[in-house]
Amino acid sequence: MQMTPELENSRFMKAARCEPTDCTPVWIMRQAGRYLPEYMEVRSKTTFIELCKTPELAAEVTLSAQAALGVDAAILFADLLPILQPMGFDLEYVKGEGPVIHNPILESKEVERVRSVEDVQVLGYVFDAVKLIRKQLPSTIPLLGFAGAPFTLASYAIEGGGSKNYIRTKTIMYNDPGAWTALMNRLVDSLADYLNAQIEAGCQAVQVFDSWAGCLSPSDYRQYVLPHTQRLIAAVNPAVPVINFLTGNPALVPDQVSAGGQVIGIDWRIDLAAAREIVGQSRAIQGNLDPASLYTELPTLEKRAKEVLDANAGHPGHIFNLGHGVHPDMNPDNVKALVRMVHELSAR
């Protein structure tokens, strides 16, 4: 992957390097999703997994979302879980229920059947989508790739789907640290190859989603998760910014910073100014408007967006985002208005 001068000097890339920008860059997690009519037009013709696995369609919804919203980065339309399929998991997306793994790890000895992805090109449809998107994106708009963090993917593999308490995951983690480490190592090896292949195909940055690590205490995160996330981030092409995103537990932010990443993605449960004190000035912060703010009237939304911007106190290295993804019943006009507000309020 070669970075053009236009991409190097884009708002997003400059902010990721903690360089001053003409205004604060913004992109939105789940910016291509069910709330957008452009997405629903494509989605109505196919299943979710087929959309993910058809490069032309994944490219179409990625590009249409960036163009409709006017955001400063596009994020590849894909899903966290298909990488588990070549690792030996039977994954299905069930209508009304979401992703289901039909052969989860029920006890620690079953970790032996999990295999690392030997050839990441088995996920070639993702890289083909990246190439198509990069060809059609404006020259000043970076493309972000992503993957699930090792803990989040391990939890899916053990729980078989969503969970409220992660009891099965924690039981294996606590009772058999050896099996847990073996599982995490196979995930890290696979995810590192996957992220680097996305970069090679044309992504300018990647985000690691630890959507479920918020269920952990700081000591458990440090013992069972931090070394593996750290190894994953360290294995990514060092020329490319990694956004380390974790949600659900502000007490983990200091350890999240220790895990690495040029950009630390935070949710709304911590004040951005407090997070800046922890993160410091040498790394960028991404976040952190509560997604529920998008349901408010526009003057209230503007006030809340300004509070996030003000919390950064003008420091270079802020990428505006929600603290998590857009909800599917959102009015797309509110999302478009938020992007305009961020640009106008932060213009220098």
Q: What is the pLDDT of residue 1?
A: 60
pLDDT tens digits, residue range 268-290? Answer: 999 999 999 999 999 999 999 99
User: Residue 348 above 90 pLDDT?
Assistant: no
Place of tokens 């992503």: 146
Mean pLDDT score of the chain, rounded to an integer?
A: 97
Task: Write out the E strands in the chain.
Answer: 74-75, 91-94, 98-101, 143-148, 205-210, 242-246, 263-265, 284-286, 318-319
Q: What is the pLDDT of residue 3?
A: 87
Q: Which active-site residues does the annotation give? A: 30, 34, 43, 79, 156
User: Residue 213 above 70 pLDDT?
Assistant: yes
pLDDT tens digits, residue range 166-186? Answer: 999 999 999 999 999 999 999
C-alpha 68/C-alpha 23 separation (Å) is: 19
Q: What is the pLDDT of residue 221?
A: 98
Indicate the Cα dihedral angle 121, 127, 131, 132, nearest 10°: 110
User: Residue 66 above 90 pLDDT?
Assistant: yes
Helix axes 226-235, 150-159, angle to 10 degrees: 120
